A and B are shown apart, each in its own frame.
Chain A
Amino acid sequence: MSYQSSIWPLAAVLISLLGALPILASDRRPNLRESWTILIAFGKVVIVASMLPTVLNGGGFVFTIAEVIPNVPIQLRVDAMGMFFALVASILWLFTSLYSIGYMRALDEHDQTRYFASFAVAISATLGVAFSANLLTLYLFYEMLSLSTYPLVTHHQDAEARTSGRKYLTYILGTSIGFALPAMLITYQLAGTLDFTQGGILAASGADASTLALILVLFIFGFAKAGIMPFHGWLPAAMVAPTPVSSFLHGVAVVKVGVFSILRVIFHIFGPDLLLQVHLGTVITTLASATILIASLVALTQDNLKRRLAYSTIGQLSYMVLGAGMLTAVGMTGGLLHIAMHAFGKITLFFCAGAIYVAAGKKYISQMDGLGKRMPITYLAFFFGSLSIIGMPPFGGFISKWNLATGAIESGQLILLLVLLVSSLLNALYFFPIVYRGFFMPAAEGEPDGIKEAPLFCLIPLSITALCSLGLFFWPGLFLRLARMAVGL
């Protein structure tokens, strides 16, 4: 693969980082401020999309920011895997920006300028992770994302936000400094480079299996944004944030940055061949399987809708890690593809949760009886999203789960197939009651009648993402092709 030097990767990252400045400057003029947000979001999608044809043709772009450590520059590089993630993140950010405007204004939230500015920095960091050419650059943007989301998680600035913010940082920063940083340093010491290379960089280092196992486990737990148990506790806690934050950051950007980092390490630092050779795939699949099953069971017990979604996310994230851990091309494709499919599904679900909160002021599932009749569009979208997550045809989630199941069979680990099936069943068990209560249970006494949906700024984005989940079943081509290119098929 040949990379051409270009300023575009930098532009894609910087547009929202620099965009935070005009957002901050138009503090007193909300309409202008939101225009900036939308303009930047559009610009970002356009820049990312403009690089797509080259990547599909097997090319790529590279930009070196600074030479900081011998053999390890701070460098951006656009390859198929990065493009895959950047595309998902930038498209969904556009919808989230629209949704945020509706949500924040409907609730008349305070400090909206800080909110939109932090959001812009967070998406910059997300694209930075997607386009990182080596582990050091990835670590830089990973930390930038952790820090820029702190004001978003603690947005309400009350006692609960304070506790959750502390928990969030303890988990995310503690693991990245305590585990990922030493793992990165040992890798550098062994391999002399941190560059993401097809086939991995550790194979040539001659490290023994126990060292490799140590590094692998440090990386998996170090990128705690992926929510592998036991380092998942921050995600339910982070649900105190405003819902657009939960939907985009804790449904898509932050958590998938964690998964993406782990996938990068598995694909391009270790390389599947090395992991097969030293039989470390089972370490990954065991951790992921345990997380999938436990998280799905815990999700069943949650009455707070956003917390149920959070545990569902923890389970689904491990699907992606599980796919990578199968170490077969199909399984790895499935894992990568699930990043996109889950993103569209889960963001729809969170958007719906926010819309329910804005329109009806409800947070708990037990209070949502009969709400489907008042908010039919929202509930239909919720139904679509949950079907996609469960993996039913004709929704996008089916495609990725199909690949994951095929990968499990191909790798000869039928137990993983069983995990996938049981988990899908559990997914259905924790999603369907919500829809059932909404449509078929009678509303409580004293609840108003008549249709009352959330504002259009909320309703339109969630309808579009729900339809996208449907559409991705019929037209998965683009994402499928990028995912296949990324795993070298």
Chain B
Amino acid sequence: MTTSNLHMYVLAAPLLTALFVNMLGRVSRSYVAPLVLGALGFSTLASLGVLSRVLDQGSYSYTVGNWAPPMGIELIIDPLSALMLVLISSVALLASFSALPMVAKEQAGKEHLFFTLYLILIAGLMGLVMTGDAFNLYVLLEITSITTYGLIAMGKGRAPLASFNYIIMGSIGACFYLLGVGYLYILTGSLNMADIAQILPQLGGDAAMATALCFILVGLWIKMALFPLHGWLPNAYSLAPTGAGLLVAPLMTKVTIYLMVRVMFSIFGADYLFVQNPLVQSGMVWLATAAIICASCLALAQRNLKRMLTYIIIAEVGYMVGGVWLANSTGLSGAILHIVNDALMTLCLFLAAAAIAYRVGSLDFDNLQGLYKRMPITMAAFTVGAFSMIGIPPTAGFFSKWYLILGGIEAGHWEYVVALLFSSLINAILFFRIIAIAYFRKEGDHARLQREEAPLIMQGPLILTAATLIVIGLGSGPLVRGIIKLALPVGF
């Protein structure tokens, strides 16, 4: 059957192309762009094929190299992982259109190195969302992390230092995760998620199991930058090369949240997490509440567009973690929908920021004056992304926030509801501050500003992403009904 291993092509395309980019890119820089775009374009199409097949014929699992689980590595292709594949490949494709000219400008001469890491990172992310093996997940997590360290370190100025900071934190996170998996292996003698999930309930929730859960979650929280474990993220993401930020900012935290959902429901199960340990469950919602409020307030203090966006990313992590731990289907649907929406709106804002950086250079607030006149199309798309972050209908952000808040009301977690509304208001302040700066001109500057847009190759994906935000918003009914409801774990 040819379609049943279509998902392997999705993953193999960027992985193999990484090799060619490195080799051929040395010969001539002109090979890089067609190779990258070709590979990711292929991945996007193939992932759409995978999604339609899953929706058509149901989930399936795939054993890599025909080694039977629990020994061999098992890949799980269900609606949720197929949706994530589509998300990763399309976001990566859109980001690379804009990343190509930015890298040529900022990292001239190193394009082949940059895009080698870039493609391996994408392949790693794709592997992460498919894998059904707890140890394999660790390996892929490290592949994505190490490539990200490299990408960030290619930035200018203090970027290598930020990358080093990230390496330390990231490695601690990876250790925690690995320790947790070790405990699980000692308990069950297995590394296959489905296998572990079958054995664990028979053991009765003892302290070793709780320790395993704790280690795994803390490891993932460091990787997803859940407040107060977020310290590495603002510097790493804002000092990274613009091209790297375009890929890493929309995807990394979102994929890690997906992993948390995976580990929680595919290994430990809703019953153990929510019913047997209600205190942990409500404690997590409170932690998410604190994350949202603190990160939003920290965002207020920033005077640079990109740094502000990084703190918003941290606040959004709180949104999704809280939604998952609300322990009801509305909240979980909201969290999954928000993974998609947040990836797209972060992409939209980072694409706009890249376009502005391309023309203006610095992203400090003071340099953004008069931008609506200079770059009207970029700023229009930026405005759509900003509205989505604030949660103004009919942009996508409104609808995921709707489910999240509704889930909070359903669960009776009013603190989380208040935090979401508070964060929306802060986002409104943050973005309208920028909109006002860009809308008004410098005092006493009466010269007619010239229009100078970013190149078309950067504008195209930006406009497309902004339009997608509205389309996904209007289509959120079918999206939730048709895909996300199927993706919820059994019992929800």
Contact = CB atoms under 8 A, between A and B. Distances in A.
A99 B425 CA distance: 36
A140 B478 contact: no
B405 A157 contact: no
B245 interface: no
A313 interface: no
Interface in A64-83: 65-70, 73-74
Contacts of B399: 68-69
Contacts of B410: 189
Contacts of A162: 436, 440
B439 A143 contact: no
B393 interface: yes
A184 to B, nearest CB: 9
19 contacts: A66-B474, A68-B476, A68-B477, A70-B477, A74-B474, A140-B393, A147-B387, A147-B392, A151-B439, A154-B440, A162-B436, A166-B432, A169-B428, A173-B428, A177-B390, A181-B405, A185-B402, A185-B409, A186-B409
A186 B311 CA distance: 29
Contacts of B417: 182, 185
A140 B393 CA distance: 5
A244 interface: no
B393 A143 contact: yes
Nearest to B443: A159
B406 interface: yes
B272 to A, nearest CB: 28
B394 interface: yes
Contacts of A74: 394, 474
A412 interface: no
A66 B475 contact: yes
Interface in A140-197: 140, 143, 147, 151, 154, 157, 159, 162, 165-166, 169, 173-174, 177-178, 181-182, 185-186, 188-189
B421 A69 contact: no
B250 interface: no
A136 interface: yes
Interface in B437-484: 439-441, 443, 473-478, 481
Given A68-B477, A69-B477, A169-B432, A181 B392 contact: no
Interface residues of A, number: 31
Contacts of B440: 154, 157, 162
Interface string B162-175: 00000000000000
Contacts of A66: 394, 474-475, 477
A188 B481 CA distance: 18
A159 B443 CA distance: 9
B242 to A, nearest CB: 29
B25 interface: no
A139 interface: yes
A178 B392 contact: no
Contacts, number: 73
What secondary structure prevails in chain B residues at the interface with A?
helix
What secondary structure prevails in chain A residues at the interface with B?
helix
A139 B393 contact: yes
Contacts of B391: 177
| 10 shortest interchain CB distances as A-B pairs | A67-B477, A140-B393, A66-B474, A68-B477, A143-B392, A189-B409, A177-B424, A173-B428, A185-B405, A68-B476
B441 A157 contact: yes
B406 A182 contact: no
B477 A182 contact: no
Interface string A98-111: 00000000000000
Nearest to B428: A173
B425 A189 contact: no
A186 B412 CA distance: 11
Interface in B387-435: 387, 390-394, 399, 402, 405-406, 409-410, 417, 421, 424-425, 428, 432
A174 B425 contact: yes
A70 B403 CA distance: 11
Contacts of A169: 428, 432
Nearest to B418: A182
Interface in B14-28: none
A140 to B, nearest CB: 4
Nearest to B441: A157
Contacts of A70: 477, 481
Nearest to A157: B440
B411 to A, nearest CB: 11
Contacts of A140: 393-394
B439 A157 contact: yes
A181 B476 contact: no
A188 B439 CA distance: 37
A148 to B, nearest CB: 12
Contacts of B481: 70
Interface string A7-42: 000000000000000000000000000000000000
Contacts of B424: 177, 181
Pick from A68, A157, A166 the residue with the most CB of B within 10 Å: A68
A177 B394 contact: no
A140 B476 CA distance: 15
Given A68-B476, A177-B424, A178-B425, A185 B393 contact: no
A122 to B, nearest CB: 15
Nearest to B399: A68
B436 A185 contact: no
A174 B393 contact: no
Contacts of B390: 177
Given A69-B402, A166-B432, A178-B421, 20 more contacts: A66-B474, A66-B475, A66-B477, A67-B478, A68-B477, A69-B476, A136-B393, A140-B393, A143-B393, A147-B392, A165-B436, A173-B432, A177-B390, A177-B391, A181-B405, A181-B424, A182-B405, A182-B417, A182-B421, A188-B406
Contacts of B478: 67
A147 B432 CA distance: 10
Contacts of A154: 436, 439-440
B436 A166 contact: yes
Contact of B428 (A69, A157, A174, A185): A174
Nearest to A154: B439
A19 B428 CA distance: 28
A188 B399 CA distance: 14
A73 B478 CA distance: 11
B474 A65 contact: yes
A151 to B, nearest CB: 7
Contact of A177 (B421, B436, B441): B421
